[in-house]
Amino acid sequence: MKELLAEAVRLVVGVERKSETLYRRGAMAADDRHRSFFQRLAEEQSRRIEALLRALPESEAAAHEPVVPPSCLATLAEKVTPPGNHLHQAMLDKRFSIDLYATFCRCFREPGLYRLFETALTVARREFRVITAEYLKGGCRNDAAATSRPQRRSHQRGELPNRVPNRHSQLFFAIQDCGRSSRIG
């Protein structure tokens, strides 16, 4: 069970690390008001990741260094995009995280795993509310044309990678087994 919990922590750290990278990228490319918003989100995310890494043994925690160091993000943010796009990407990212963590909460009833995913779900929902409030506050729709018909939906997911557990891992097999009925009596 320890291995399964360690793998779950690694999965949550990976998801949150990608969110942190997205926030840092938004901080590099956004205007002043959104820059401070994204920097604050990135710092909070970094503190949460550090807290999660303390739950892992030191040998495994060392393997989870940042995917993209903050010094290299300047080259990634060369294409300056409107702040609404970064906020929109952050909302999509958090929505995906919420769906993923909610699925894991429904699948696992072991107290350690459930507590981990429930905590991650609560934090993701809170971040989603904050990002949505910032998105609705302004800066995202000021360039939209004022027409009588609703704005057309965009179904682009951006740079959201596939973050499901590895298909050859214990976590994936545990998810597959949790929905099956028992063959015992």
User: What is the reported pLDDT for 77?
Assistant: 45
Rounded distance between C-alpha atoms, residue 105 and residue 102, angstroms: 5
User: What is the reported pLDDT for 102?
Assistant: 92
Indicate whether 146 pLDDT > 50: no
Nearest in space to 136 (alpha carbons), one of 84, 75, 74:
84
User: What is the reported pLDDT for 137?
Assistant: 83
User: What is the reported pLDDT for 58?
Assistant: 57
The DSSP code sequence of 79-115 is S---HHHHHHHHHHHHHHHHHHHHHHHHH--SHHHHH
User: What is the reported pLDDT for 3?
Assistant: 84
User: What is the reported pLDDT for 30?
Assistant: 60
Q: pLDDT tens digits, residue range 156-184?
A: 555 555 566 677 777 777 777 776 555 55
pLDDT confidence tier of residue 141, bands split at 50, 70 and 90: low
Task: Say which DSSP state 167 is in.
Answer: T
Indicate whether 109 pLDDT > 70: yes
User: What is the reported pLDDT for 88?
Assistant: 87
User: What is the reported pLDDT for 153?
Assistant: 61
The answer to whether the beta carbons of residues 33 and 139 sit under 8 Å apart is yes
Q: pLDDT tens digits, residue range 4-49?
A: 888 888 899 999 999 999 999 888 876 677 888 889 999 999 998 8
pLDDT confidence tier of residue 54, bands split at 50, 70 and 90: confident
State the average pLDDT for the chain: 75
Sign of CA dihedral 12, 14, 19, 24: positive
Q: What is the mean pLDDT of the segment spanning 120-146?
A: 78
